[in-house]
Amino acid sequence: MKKVILVDSNSLLYRSYYALPKLSTKDGFPTGGIYGFLRIVSKLLGEPHSHFIIVGDAKGTLARTLVFKEYKSNRPKAPDELHWQRERLPDVLTQLSIPYVVYDGKEADDAICSLTHFFESWNFQVEIYTSDTDMMQLITQNTRVVTFKKGITQVKHYDYKTFLDEFGFAPERFVDYKSLVGDSADNIPGVNGIGPKTASALVKEFSREELLDKFGSVLERNLQLITLEDFPVPYDTLLLRVKPSNDLSILEELEFDSLIGPFLRVLGTRKVQVGLFGLEDLDRLPWQCLSDPTIVGEPFPFAFVERDDPIRSSNLLYAQRFLNGMDTNQVPKKVLVDDVVVDVTADEALAIMNAATSVALEGEVLRVQQ
């Protein structure tokens, strides 16, 4: 299974903080938000997937304030208890070996947009967990959005069909719709006099160009603010995967005794029987997707395994030859992705090979097609 789960960190932490009673350690450090956050993450890690990434917001000035200086200016300062937990969370996730990424100068929703398009280009299924409705614009046949509707216990799943049934227009027109009605959460005023019903009717009847002719600068500004940015993502993103671990001392430190069992089930190692190529690089398998025991007939360093069935990759032999070359420092001197030369490490090349639709190893040249 080639599937990535993307989690909007601030969205989930914020909802967890307000949804649960105030908790703290014996020395007084507040933990309620982190506890709720990890409780949900432990459940999500049990879902079949190959990649799992939690995405945070960069600090500093927001680029969108250059377009509209009042952008998000209506948001009150976060309580100190929430701020402290937000600062602590990245370290907690690192100790649990759960990938957490922040891109300099980028908001989380732009980062999720870029990651979504990156993984879609490698033919992954994408599932996004957030309370930010801006993410609706990312829905495709391969990407669905799961929104937190009430606290952290009620969610709604939006795939392409669900979105069409509810809104009556395609997800790619959601930016037009939201630009017309505005976004009070981000302090973006809509076009004067237009509510959801009118906006929906306008989007169904008119193209974006026609809407811009009608509503001019306000709509143009909102389109800039609400359209998510798509920036380049490095190839080593394919290496962002949860690693098996039995060290849950951070949960003990935070006094989350009730979470130790759930995390052992999703992060703990499994007994695995492997044939053909032996046990090399077995630690790169997505352990949370393996049952116990699992027989893997054709192991591949980045095989995606769901339940008891291996995904049989046509790239297995190339991978083995590549690994053998790594052992003797005879790795390919040139790697081409869709006929474009890329500068990648050996580990990145392995990740790319497994995500590819076709691979050819021609002497010192590795050719990969997305």
In this model, does residue 74 exceed pLDDT 50?
yes
In this model, does residue 161 exceed pLDDT 80?
yes
The Cα diameter of the chain in Å comes to 70
pLDDT range class, residue 51, cuts 50, 70, 90: confident
CA distances from 63 to 58, 59, 68, 76, 105 (A): 11, 11, 9, 19, 8
Give me 278's structure tokens.
């032996």
- pLDDT value, residue 67: 81
pLDDT range class, residue 209, cuts 50, 70, 90: very high
Q: 101 with 240: CB under 8 angstroms?
A: yes
Return phi, psi of residue 6, to 5°: -110, 130
Question: What value does the mean pLDDT of the chain take?
Answer: 82
- Residue 270's Cβ-count burial label (10 Å; 0-12, 13-18, 19+) is middle
- How far does the chain reach from its first CA to its final CA, in angstroms? 16
- pLDDT value, residue 309: 38
343: three-class secondary structure by DSSP: coil
- The fold of 3-226 is Rossmann fold (3.40.50)
User: What would the mean pLDDT of 150-157 be, rounded to a whole number?
Assistant: 79
Q: Which of residues 288 and 13 earns the better pLDDT score?
A: 13
User: What would the mean pLDDT of 250-278 be, rounded to a whole number?
Assistant: 77
- Map out the domains of the chain as residue ranges: 3-226, 272-369
- pLDDT value, residue 307: 39
For 299-326, the pLDDT digits (tens) are: 333 444 433 333 334 455 555 566 566 5
Q: Is the dihedral angle over the CA atoms 209, 211, 216, 217 positive or is it negative?
A: negative
Name the one residue in this structure whose structure tokens are 């050996």: 346
